Amino acid sequence: ARTAAVIPAAGRGVRLGPGAPKALRALGGTPMLIHAVRAMAASRHVSLVIVVAPPDGAGEVKSLLDAHALPERTDFLVVPGGQSRQESVRLGLDALPSDYDIVLVHDAARPLVPVDTVDAVIEAVREGAPAVVPALPLADTVKQVEPAAVPGDPEPVVATPERARLRAVQTPQGFDRATLVRAHTEVTGDVTDDAGMVEQLGLTVVAVPGHEEAFKVTRPLDLVLAEAVLARRRL
């Protein structure tokens, strides 16, 4: 079974604030995207990484990857991304050579995922699950609300799902290739993760333990945390 990783990295990073596209922002002096690529290449099962670059940044991303050594066993491709994460993932899948039968989809914005988490996801796909997500229990209680018409106005609480049964899902999410391609062909409408599209096909998605360090860099405070995690690793 050959395994490839698609890394959507085409987002602007609006919530992180003004600056370069999020995937190109530095973390410990190295672009976030390079950390994410290395995190996938750290798995001995991953032999190809497909980076989905900002639409006008494919050349720059290609140069970056040429400048940062990957393990010998790992090839990479760079393709331009789209307007939504979903479209970017599909453009990455379109570039996937036919001899890969397991695909990981990993956010460039999760640069610090440990290799053990990557391997746990791959292992579960190898054992027959069509779709696998790394997931963690929640620290906060979650409430469903009726969103206010005006942001910031009080919002009526509708329900409180039982926290013990909820999970926050991370990436890399792992898929049987044919399943993910089918999901991206047949499922339309807004989704925030690839596994959700597989669920819409009526197939079973399984969760394996995620990792705290696989958190997504979304807002400025997440960058502070990511720098601290990296500094601790370098001790």
Binding site residues, ligand CTP, CB under 6 A: 8-15, 22-23, 52, 81-85, 88, 107-109, 216, 218
C-beta closer to ligand CTP: residue 83 or 204: 83
* Residue 108, binding choice from ligand CTP, Mg ion, none, Cβ under 5 to 8 Å by partner class: ligand CTP
Smallest distance from ligand CTP to CB 216, Å: 5
* Distances, alpha carbon 209 to alpha carbons 28, 116, 120, 172, in Å: 27, 10, 8, 12
* Residue 10, binding choice from Mg ion, ligand CTP, none, Cβ under 5 to 8 Å by partner class: ligand CTP
C-beta closer to Mg ion: residue 11 or 130: 11
Residue 176 pairs in a beta bridge with 102
* Residue 211, binding choice from Mg ion, ligand CTP, none, Cβ under 5 to 8 Å by partner class: none
C-beta closer to ligand CTP: residue 44 or 168: 168
Q: What span, in angstroms and rounded, lies between the C-alpha atoms of 63 and 74?
A: 16
Element (H, E) at 48: strand 46-53
**Torsion angles phi and psi, residue 48, rounded to 5:** -145, 135
From the list 202, 203, 193, 204, the residue with the least C-alpha distance to 86 is 193
Smallest distance from ligand CTP to CB 158, Å: 25
* Residue 9, binding choice from Mg ion, ligand CTP, none, Cβ under 5 to 8 Å by partner class: ligand CTP
C-beta closer to Mg ion: residue 13 or 31: 13
Smallest distance from ligand CTP to CB 154, Å: 25
- The residue with its CB nearest to ligand CTP is 11
Per-residue DSSP letter, 190: -
C-beta closer to ligand CTP: residue 5 or 52: 52
CB 103 within 8 A of CB 5: yes
C-beta closer to ligand CTP: residue 147 or 156: 147
Site residues for Mg ion, window 1-60 (CB under 5 A)? 11
Q: What span, in angstroms and rounded, lies between the C-alpha atoms of 53 and 92?
A: 9
CB 42 within 8 A of CB 3: no
**Torsion angles phi and psi, residue 233, rounded to 5:** -65, -30
Residue 168 pairs in a beta bridge with 136
Q: What span, in angstroms and rounded, lies between the C-alpha atoms of 150 and 155?
A: 10
Q: What span, in angstroms and rounded, lies between the C-alpha atoms of 121 and 132?
A: 6
Smallest distance from ligand CTP to CB 21, Å: 7
CB 3 within 8 A of CB 122: yes
* Residue 174, binding choice from Mg ion, ligand CTP, none, Cβ under 5 to 8 Å by partner class: none
Smallest distance from Mg ion to CB 11, Å: 5
Q: Which residues bind Mg ion (CB under 5 A)?
A: 11
